[in-house]
Structure 1
């Protein structure tokens, strides 16, 4: 489904990513970990179409990924991307309206009625059926992320991109969000790419884990080389020394390697 061929990304003289070569099959759940600033979110934005590629090619079904976001790729950020002046239901209806190729995105008549019914069903899926008439400032952090996920899924994307979506949530709420994302991934047969700063979360949620890191470092010119995917691991039991090595690179607190996975 996705193929990256020798991808490089630079901003002027600063190299962010170099030599990315990967293939991803439809239905995989890929988690991306690495130190801050190593290019994880940049790669996600390339998949979305909001970041250009400096060199190489990134293909979707054998064709270059469009250089703009599309309905086939939904995204959820850590910062809640919701409209504060709209109710929960109207937020999701608006996301549906934006799929129209029109100046306003407004829906009328039968289209509006169908969108309302579809948005209501989607909000039931993410556990917000009790909050349809609330405004974002009346929601908890976890509820806002549920709303953002509903906005992303209303377009029926094939690919769901998650950029540290649970980093600001309390542990108990994060656990609930994990269950929700896994449920939606299976139910909607999504292909998921999720950036996380939490290695344990990456192993729990994903079927495959990528570690982004620099293989080449020049102390005199720290921006001369970019990060690449240094580990591409099928999720499962892992030797504790390899887990600790990755954990040290990512910069996490010491943890035991996980022995059970979502897959």
Structure 2
């Protein structure tokens, strides 16, 4: 379904990603881990279509990923992407409106009634039917993320992109969100890519784990090389020693990066 062929991403002289070559089948749940700034979110944005690659290919069903977001790819960020002046129900309906042709995203008549019915059904799916008349400011963090997921799923995407969606949530709420995402992944037969800073979360949620890290380093030119996928592991078939090894590698990379910026 998704294939990257020798993908590189640069911003000016700074190399963010290099030599990424992977294939992903439909229905996989891929978690992406790595230190801050290693290109995980950049890769997600290239899948979404809001970032372009510098070199190589990124293919969806054998064709280049479209250069703009589309209804086949839904995304949820850590920062809640909701409209504060709209109710929960109106926020979800807006997601359907903006997916239609035209600039305003407004819905009328039968289209509005259908969008309302679909939005209410989706709110029930994510456990927010009781909060449909509330505004985002009246919601807890977990409820806002449920709302963002409802927005992303209303268009029935094939691919769900999650960019550290649970990083700001308390552990108990995160556990509830884990169960929700796993249920929706199975129920809607989604292909999921999820960025997380939590290695244990990555192992728990995904069917496949990618570790982004730099394999080439130059202390005199730290931006000359980018991150690659240094581990590509089927979750559930990894022993504890491999998990500890990955954790050590990421900790070492983070310390080296911190030391570099302290010296400059």
Coarse TM-score class (shorter-chain normalised): over 0.9
1:132-152 superposed Cα distances (whole Å, 9 cap, x missing partner) = 000000000000000000000
1 CA distance for matches of 2:82 and 2:143?
Answer: 11
Residue aligning to 2:18: 18
1:168-225 superposed Cα distances (whole Å, 9 cap, x missing partner) = 0000000000000000000000000000000000000000000000010000000000
Residues 35, 249 of structure 1: 8 Å contact kept: no
2 CA distance for matches of 1:237 and 1:20?
Answer: 23
Residue aligning to 2:133: 133
2 CA distance for matches of 1:171 and 1:212?
Answer: 25
Q: How does 1:148-159 map to 2 (within 5 A)?
A: 148-159=148-159
Residue aligning to 1:215: 215
Q: How does 1:188-227 map to 2 (within 5 A)?
A: 188-227=188-227
Residue aligning to 2:239: 239
Residues 2, 25 of structure 1: 8 Å contact kept: yes
1 CA distance for matches of 2:183 and 2:61?
Answer: 25
Return the offset for 1:251. Answer: 3.4
TM-score, length basis structure 1: 0.95
Residue aligning to 1:176: 176
2 CA distance for matches of 1:137 and 1:31?
Answer: 30
Return the offset for 1:248. Answer: 1.9
Residue aligning to 1:33: 33
Residue aligning to 2:257: none
Question: SS of the counterpart of 1:105?
Answer: coil
Residues 87, 133 of structure 1: 8 Å contact kept: yes
Determine whether 1:6 maps to 2:6: yes
User: Could you tell which deviates more after superposition, 166-175 or 228-237?
Assistant: 228-237
Residue aligning to 1:62: 62
Return the offset for 1:103. Answer: 1.8
Question: SS of the counterpart of 2:83?
Answer: coil
Residue aligning to 1:260: none
Return the offset for 1:237. Answer: 4.1
2 CA distance for matches of 1:65 and 1:240?
Answer: 36
Return the offset for 1:120. Answer: 0.2
Greater helix proportion: 2
1 CA distance for matches of 2:146 and 2:155?
Answer: 15
Residue aligning to 2:142: 142
Determine whether 1:166 maps to 2:171: no
Aligned CA RMSD, in angstroms, stands at 0.9
Structure 1: 4+ residue segments shifted above 3 A: none
TM-score, length basis structure 2: 0.94
1 CA distance for matches of 2:249 and 2:160?
Answer: 26
Instruction: List runs of 5+ in structure 1 lacking aligned partners.
Output: 253-263
Instruction: List runs of 5+ in structure 2 lacking aligned partners.
Output: 253-264
Question: SS of the counterpart of 1:69?
Answer: coil
Q: 1:80 to 1:224 in 2, by over 3 A?
A: same
How many pairs are equivalent? 252
